[in-house]
Amino acid sequence: MKEVTDGRRPTRRARPVRRWAAYATCAWTLAGYGTLKLYWALGGTALTSSAPLPRSGREELVAQTPGTMAGHWISVGLVLLGALAALATVRSWGQVLPRRLLTVPMWITGALMVLRACGALGFGFVGDAMVLTGVLHVDPPDAEIARHLSRVDLLLWSPYFLVWGLLWGATAWATPRRPAR
């Protein structure tokens, strides 16, 4: 195994980690979130009634309002951009982009997703646990749906966003430094 002494180029051992993180981030982005958003943009309705949104947002999602549908298509575009950004960290065509142009948005995206998963941005492990244990009071008309949404979020969405955020962080961290020109 070739070791590098200048400290700027990764060893052969680091390359598979970098590739794994980038490809896993790309796959998680496209296969999970991207597929769901494309499905919704094309008129699908699965999982819309259990999306962790306020009542008005869920009603708009189920009703497929023009604004909601436009949001889905914007999300599909952002998913494609994100998948390309992840691939740019390990593909030769990505070498033309400045490293910071790739990594700064990745760090920010990863951090926001982890915060969302933990509950710092509303829904997440903490908020869901508070609803399910009764620490967070929900008015009676909305109590049952709030418990249902918290269970779905706790078992599906929060873990998904946690893994996705960690993958973005791993991809940003593993992005190689560009050689000085």
Residue boundaries of the structural domains of the chain:
14-174
Which segments within the chain are labelled E, that is strand? none
Q: What is the pLDDT of residues 151-180, one digit of tens each?
A: 999 999 999 999 999 999 999 999 887 665
- Length of the chain as a residue count: 181
pLDDT of 26 reads 97
Q: Taking the CB of residue 62, how many other CB atoms lie within 10 A of it?
A: 13
Over the Cα atoms of the chain, what is R_g?
Answer: 19
Contact 95/140 with Cβ under 8 angstroms? no
Q: Which residue's structure tokens are 């873990």?
A: 159
Question: How much is the mean pLDDT over the chain?
Answer: 87
- The model's pTM is 0.83
Confidence of residue 6 (pLDDT cuts 50, 70, 90): very low
Residue pointed to by tokens 């990745």:
106
